[in-house]
Amino acid sequence: MKVSKKEEKKKQALENEKVDKKEEQKCDGEKTDENNAESVKTQADNADADETEAASDAEKAADADNTENKKKDPRDAVIEELQDKVKRQMAEFDNYRKRTDKEKSAMFEMGASDVIKKLLPIVDNFERGFKSITDEEKETPFAKGMDMVYKQTMKMLDDLDVKPIEALGLEFNPDIHNAVMHVDDDSVGENIIVEEFEKGYTYRETVIRHSMVKVAN
């Protein structure tokens, strides 16, 4: 079948049109890629610009702080130095006060202990005197008067927290007892105190005089 020239030209025109559309689509795609690339580049540039601007702001703030510090009144530095000195002196004074109070307390304790030690022999003499008299003699006015003085002295010592040390019939304790004699006695247990020669005392739970005792072996 023979194709006419008219139809052949029409067919050629259609093919040319298809080729033109393909070329146009290709060009549009390339333009889109270029636009995308340009957009990415623009975003990167904007990010760099933001970072540069942030760095610039930080530098400005630092410069402002430095300028403010430079403008700080020299009198403020003097005031701060004086305040620091006052704080140190107050701390030193507080330490001195505590140390002084502690030394005073220790001196008072030593002084009180010395006075109590000097009173204890007087108490011993009162007790020895009462042991040497009869029950009838204890009823005399003189003996009653001495007994009142003895009891008043013991109350004063008790108020000062001076306590007698228990010894007779108890187990020997070297921390509070002083064994001056030993005796063989099977009637009592071993290391038991059977006799007290001199009573011991504590002052505020500290031994100021040990009990002088006889201990059974």
Domain regions of the chain by residue span: 82-160, 164-217
Q: What is the DSSP string of the chain?
A: -PPPHHHHHHHHHHHHHHHHHHHHHHHHHHHHHHHHHHHHHHHHHHHHHHHHHHHHHHHHHHHHHHHHHHTS-HHHHHHHHHHHHHHHHHHHHHHHHHHHHHHHHHHHHHHHHHHHHHHHHHHHHHHHHHHHS-TTGGGSHHHHHHHHHHHHHHHHHHHTTEEEPP-TTSBP-TTTEEEEEEE--TTS-TTBEEEEEE--EEETTEEEEPEEEEEE-
Residue 203: closest CA among 174, 176, 173, 172: 176
CATH node for 164-217: 2.30.22.10
Task: Give the chain's residues under pLDDT 70.
Answer: 1-72
State pLDDT tens for residues 15-61.
666 655 655 555 555 555 555 545 545 555 555 555 555 556 656 66
Residue 199: closest CA among 132, 151, 128: 128
Which pLDDT does position 70 carry in this prediction? Answer: 54
CA 110 – CA 102 distance, rounded (Å): 12
Q: State the burial class of residue 49 (Cβ atoms within 10 Å of its Cβ: 0-12, 13-18, 19+).
A: exposed
Angstrom distances, CA of residue 187 to CA of 121, 209, 216 = 32, 29, 9
Q: What are phi and psi of 204, to 5 degrees?
A: 55, 50
CA 86 – CA 93 distance, rounded (Å): 10
State percent of the chain over pLDDT 70: 67
Residues in the chain: 217
The verdict on pTM exceeding 0.75 is no
CA 130 – CA 173 distance, rounded (Å): 28
Q: What is the chain's alpha carbon radius of gyration, rounded to the nearest angstrom?
A: 55
Which pLDDT does position 61 carry in this prediction? Answer: 61
Which pLDDT does position 187 carry in this prediction? Answer: 84
Q: What are phi and psi of 134, to 5 degrees?
A: -80, 170
Which pLDDT does position 123 carry in this prediction? Answer: 95
